[in-house]
Structure 1
Amino acid sequence: MTNESMEPPSPDHEAHAESLSALTLATQDMPRAVRFYETLGFRIVHGGADEAFTSFALGSSFLNLTRETHGPIRFWGRAIIYVSDVDAFYRKALAHGITPQFAPRDAPWNERYFHLTDPDGHELSFARPL
């Protein structure tokens, strides 16, 4: 096979998953959840008992809590996966017929990210620090 007969690599060929950044868990009682994790020695780096979103440092990863206030918790949480290039990974998902929940955006916690849901309903966030 010669180089002439091979298809050129996709511009998104280099977009790949690099590491698990965080796990986000849902809670209906943020103060209770924050006390629980602080009791275990987890260190808050964003948010707190009175916030809708709290993040604890776990080495180079994070455990996040998100407050869900509408009825029983139907949202289990979210896995956050760091990728080499958020926009390229988004285009890669689209090219394979996967429809993310929204286009990549910059977050106030200094990440660029987008979410999608796997076939079993698990939410995945693909992100990169800004």
Structure 2
Amino acid sequence: MTQTPRPQVWPTLRARDARALIAFLVEAFGFEETVVYGEGGRVDHAQLDWPLGGGVMLGSDRDRSEDNPWWLPPGTFGAYVVTDEPDALYARATAAGAETLYAPRDTPYGSRDFAVRDPEGNLWSFGTYRGELRKAP
């Protein structure tokens, strides 16, 4: 029995209200909350897994400083995520309050996709396009 390898590339983002963003990403898009570390309203590290594989990591915004060289302004993240059900996911996302950038549409390269903005301002595009197979070396 083979096991799918763990993702080795993790998109990351920061949030002004990380706990609220986690709840939104779970409710609106269907991410699975795998782990959240932090006390009170602060999130030091969270991992949200995508049901089809991969995921994102996020945490609470902190001021840029010498102790925080990995500073990302909240609301500056963008990602494309594969889904088998873009129309149903679009309905779910907008019902949860995601702002529509464009509704589900068919692309010239064979994908059906849509794009929305989350409450923190991050951009999310979901579609059926899975990317191309890697070329042999």
- Give the TM-score normalised by the residue count of structure 2: 0.37
Q: Taking CA–CA contacts closer than 8 Å with sequence separation of 6 or more, which of the two structures ends up with the larger relative contact order? A: 1
Q: Which has the larger radius of gyration?
A: 1
Task: Report the structure, 1 or 2, having the larger strand content.
Answer: 1
- Give the TM-score normalised by the residue count of structure 1: 0.39
